Amino acid sequence: MTPAVALSIAGSDSSGGAGVQADLKTFAALGVYGACAVTALTAQNTRGVTGIHVVPAEFVVEQVEAVLDDLAVAAVKTGMLATPAIVSAVAELAAAGRLPNLVVDPVMVASSGDRLLEPEAESLYVGSLLPHARMLTPNLREAEVLLGTPIRSIAEQREAARALGALGPAVVVIKGGHPVSDSSDQAVDVVWDGTSTHDLSAPRVPTVNNHGTGCTFAAAAAAAMAGGAKPSEALQTAKDYVSLALSSGASWQLGHGHGPLDHFAVDHR
């Protein structure tokens, strides 16, 4: 049977744990054929980012167009978009209806704390890209950047999800990988589905191997929707997949910082 196709528009991680590499591994693990358009090359490892070489926006579009002209893309996931020009270019493609089941992971801050998006691009996310997203998947830090306000509790996380939903995305999930004050033993993601909020939670996995967790979650949601899942089903698939990948790779000793997940843990069961 021919697999569904998902497209990742994101940066390359030279250490293989996040970005396009994590997306393609996730697509493959979930039975979806993965294509990609690389927005930037990063020199990074488990300890942090040491350099970024941005791809011109015109060539990002050329990559996307080459894929769309030949493959039946059923879902698109964006990651690191790096510059205002790339954010604008992707937003134009989305506005033209070229990016189905668009999952926007607004990669602004790495797990290490490194900023991965030029500050002037942040307003373009809000005004140009988010209105065309079927799903928005910021982590707590990214939600704070998008809204310009701190998030210190689950209650504030819920309010932030509603506020982000008002910007246009059909579904918002604020990932709780970095704990707020009242949820230290649970990884609580707060979902806004267009009418109400609800929590998507799982026991927090004690591990330093969490490099690429956000990319992986968004890619898993996109993969599920490429296969025909509704957003609510896709989010549960993503939550279960990331929890398993974190647990399976928790004892790995790859690198000297935040190691990667076990993206193929589903094959070990």
Domain positions in the chain: 5-267
Where is average pLDDT lowest: 120-129, 149-158, 174-183?
Answer: 174-183
DSSP code for 115: B
Name 6's bridge partners: 34, 75
The predicted model gives 24-38 an average pLDDT of: 98
Q: Which two three-digit tokens encode residue 96?
A: 């033209």
Asked whether residue 103 carries a pLDDT value surpassing 90, the answer given is yes
Strands (E), the chain: 5-13, 33-45, 48-54, 73-78, 102-104, 135-136, 171-174, 186-192, 197-203
Decide if pLDDT at 114 tops 80.
no
What value, to the nearest 5°, has the Cα angle with vertex 269 and ends 32 and 238? 45
What is the rounded average pLDDT of the residues 88-109? 95
pLDDT of 266:
82
* 23, burial (CB in 10 Å: exposed 0-12, middle 13-18, buried 19+): buried
Task: For residue 100, give the amino acid letter.
Answer: P
Q: pLDDT digit string (tens) for 35-45?
A: 999 999 999 99
Q: pLDDT tens-digit profile of 130-157? A: 999 999 999 998 999 899 999 988 899 9
Question: Architecture of 5-267 per CATH?
Answer: 3-Layer(aba) Sandwich (3.40)
Q: How far is CA 87 from the centre of its chain?
A: 15
Torsion over CA: 79, 37, 17, 213 (sign): positive
CA distance 137 to 154: 16
> Of all residues in the chain, what percent carry a pLDDT higher than 90?
81
Q: Using the predicted structure, report yes or no on whether residue 232 has a pLDDT greater than 90.
A: yes
Mean pLDDT of the chain: 92
Asked whether the beta carbons of 134 and 97 are under 8 A apart, the reply is no
Reported as a pLDDT band with limits 50, 70 and 90, residue 177 is low
Predicted local confidence at residue 188, as pLDDT: 86
Least confident of 116-130, 142-156, 158-172, 212-226: 116-130
The full length of the chain comes to 269
How confident is the model at residue 158, as a pLDDT?
94
* Confidence band, pLDDT 50/70/90 cuts, at residue 198: very high
